[in-house]
Amino acid sequence: MRHYVTAFVFGLFLWTAVAPQPAYAMFGVDTAAIVGAITALQGAMNSVIAEMQGVLDAALVEINFSALSGFSQITNYLKAQVGANEQIADANNMVNARLQRDVINAHIMDEHAVNRQDCLNLEGGQATIVAARKAEDVQMALDVAKDARTRAARNTPSWTGAGQASQANNSLHFSKYCDDAEAEAGLCSLADTGLKGADQDASSLLTPPVYTDQKAIDRANDYETTLIQPVVPAAMRGNAITTPEGQQAMPGRRSYNAAISLAHDIGNDVLSWRAGTVTLTAAQKAEAQREGISQTDTGSLWEATELEVNRRYSGTDWQADLQAMPSEKSVLIQIALLDSQRNWLLWQQLKLQQKTALVSAKRLALEADASLKRFTPLPVPNP
């Protein structure tokens, strides 16, 4: 291409040198030769231009082809890049979806997994309910026996008379709880240190979380009897209820019996809570041992309830399991169980409040009766 340019420049110079000069036409210069030279030069220039045009066209075609190939390749690269980005995005979406699914599945498993404390709470609750039912049986048995005694029924000491009732109570006391003064008087043999006067000590009823044996139960029952009704009045029978005076006294005696029955029911309820009525669970036994309680084979309603409360308040096992619970649902379950236990205790408190309300009603009745007796009896109208 450089050679063509050189020839073109040389021809242009030659044409300039031999170009016709109008100033010399008058001197007879041969115009035909000049025209021929010009024509030849123009042909040479046209040939050079044509060749240059061909070269330029070929170069443009080559450039266009190369550019087109380049653009096509770039387009292919862009298409491949878009496809690759789509695959990368799809892969990321799939990974994120699987990750979220695994997180959800793990959360679902945590929500439905049974915690160790759930089983222990269920066992403890069942033990408490069983103990409560059996304690009610103990209370009922005591109520039946003491109600018959209070009414001075047949085969009870007061059926015979008040003297026999007092002697029966003394005989029971002397045989088990003889103290120093009674022993010095020769009424009985001195009892062991732990038994002297035990039928008068509140600790016999309230101190032990569970009565360890039958003797402990008897001590608690004897204290309750001494507290509420040590001696039952003689039975009203025979001419004591057939005379007009006896007939007039009978309503008062029935009211007395009803009041004493209520008092015994409350005392027996307290006693039954500490009677051995259930086998403690493994968690309750472990808590009892931590607290230094030696008797762990058989528990009471009082002990089972107390151990359930204590092991949640101070037990390291429950605290550790609570800290390790995987989800908020497990913690909420524990809170719900605690609330259930609170409701159960409130229910027991309500039952006791009903009984104490009756006691208050009886006291009000006694005050009203005493107030009425201060007035002069009204005359009995003549029918």
DSSP secondary structure letter of residue 382: -
SS (H, E, C) 325-364: CCCHHHHHHHHHHHHHHHHHHHHHHHHHHHHHHHHHHHHH
User: What is the rounded average pLDDT for all residues in the chain?
Assistant: 82
- Quote the tokens at residue 11: 């021809």
CB of 310 within 8 A of CB of 291? yes
Confidence bin at 320 (pLDDT 50/70/90) = confident
Q: What is the pLDDT of residue 25?
A: 47
User: How is 129-173 classified by DSSP, letter by letter?
Assistant: HHHHHHHHHHHHHHHHHHHHHHTT-TTSHHHH-HHHHHHHHHHHH
pLDDT in tens, 207-226: 888 998 899 999 999 999 99
Q: What is the pLDDT of residue 107?
A: 66
Q: What is the pLDDT of residue 2?
A: 47
Q: Which of 197-211, 322-336, 365-379 has the lowest average pLDDT?
A: 365-379
pTM above 0.75, yes or no: no
- What percentage of the chain carries pLDDT values higher than 70? 86
- Quote the tokens at residue 367: 């005050």
Average pLDDT over residues 225-251: 90
Q: What is the pLDDT of residue 94?
A: 87
Beta-carbon-side half-sphere exposure of residue 220 (alpha carbons within 13 Å) = 26
Those residues with Cβ within 8 angstroms of residue 363's Cβ, 6 or more apart along the chain or in another chain: none
CA–CA separation, 114 and 135 (whole Å):
31
Answer yes or no: is pLDDT of 280 > 70: yes
Helix or strand or coil: residue 30? coil
pLDDT in tens, 194-209: 899 999 999 999 988 8
Confidence bin at 24 (pLDDT 50/70/90) = very low
Question: How far lies 145's CA from each of 84, 154, 261, 264, 266, in Å?
Answer: 92, 12, 11, 10, 14
- What percentage of the chain carries pLDDT values higher than 90? 30
Burial of 218 (0-12, 13-18, 19+ CB in 10 A): middle
Confidence bin at 169 (pLDDT 50/70/90) = very high
